[in-house]
């Protein structure tokens, strides 16, 4: 099994996405995984759900769960569809909510850790700003967690 196929399976990359390339930096203890979508792939308009062709793309990145002891990042050219009714819209990304630099699985992990240890300690452990951890907690509704 090649490394891209292995990554595709372990990350659960949904169609029409696929793992295009992987970069490993042992000095930075970091893995960067680049997704792309199948040429001619269609995506749902985020408003009416109608299948639309891709109008253009914008580059986005998300922090994902660690892979062994390496920090991992997912990079994607995110399509925008051009719906006849709703115009040009950015598609819904299945592994993340809009406007966050973290995958949903990463956020769930942060929430779980914050239930067991102080938020500042979690932020230090997962190497994010403490304010980012608080934003994740606020979005995911964790009223019992104290500073
Ligand atoms: Zn639409």
Residues 82-122: tens digit of each pLDDT = 999 999 999 999 999 888 999 999 999 999 999 999 999 99
Q: 31 alpha carbon to ligand 1 midpoint, in Å? A: 36
Structural domain spans, the chain = 99-147
**Residue 1, helix vs strand vs coil:** coil
Q: Give the pTM.
A: 0.88
**How many whole angstroms from 57 Cα to the centroid of ligand 1?**
17
Q: How far is the CA of 13 from the centre of ligand 1 (A)?
A: 25
pLDDT for 143 beyond 70: no
Question: Which stretches does DSSP call E strand in the chain?
Answer: 17-25, 30-37, 43-44, 51-52, 54-67, 70-83, 87-90
Question: How far apart, in whole angstroms, are the C-alpha atoms of residue 134 and residue 147?
Answer: 9
């Amino acid at each position: 099994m090649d490394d891209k196929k292995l990554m595709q399976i372990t990350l659960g990359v949904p169609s029409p996405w696929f793992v295009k390339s992987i970069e490993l930096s042992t000095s930075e203890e970091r893995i960067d995984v680049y997704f792309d979508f199948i040429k001619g792939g269609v995506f749902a308009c985020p408003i009416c759900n109608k299948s639309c062709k891709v109008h253009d793309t914008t580059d986005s990145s998300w922090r994902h769960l660690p892979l062994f002891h390496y920090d991992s990042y997912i990079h994607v050219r995110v399509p925008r569809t051009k719906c006849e009714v709703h115009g040009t819209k950015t598609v819904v990304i299945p592994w993340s909510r809009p406007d966050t630099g973290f995958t949903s699985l990463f956020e769930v992990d942060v929430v779980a850790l914050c239930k067991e240890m102080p938020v500042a300690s979690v932020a230090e452990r997962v190497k994010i700003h403490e304010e980012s951890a608080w934003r994740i907690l606020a979005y995911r509704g964790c009223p019992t967690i104290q500073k």
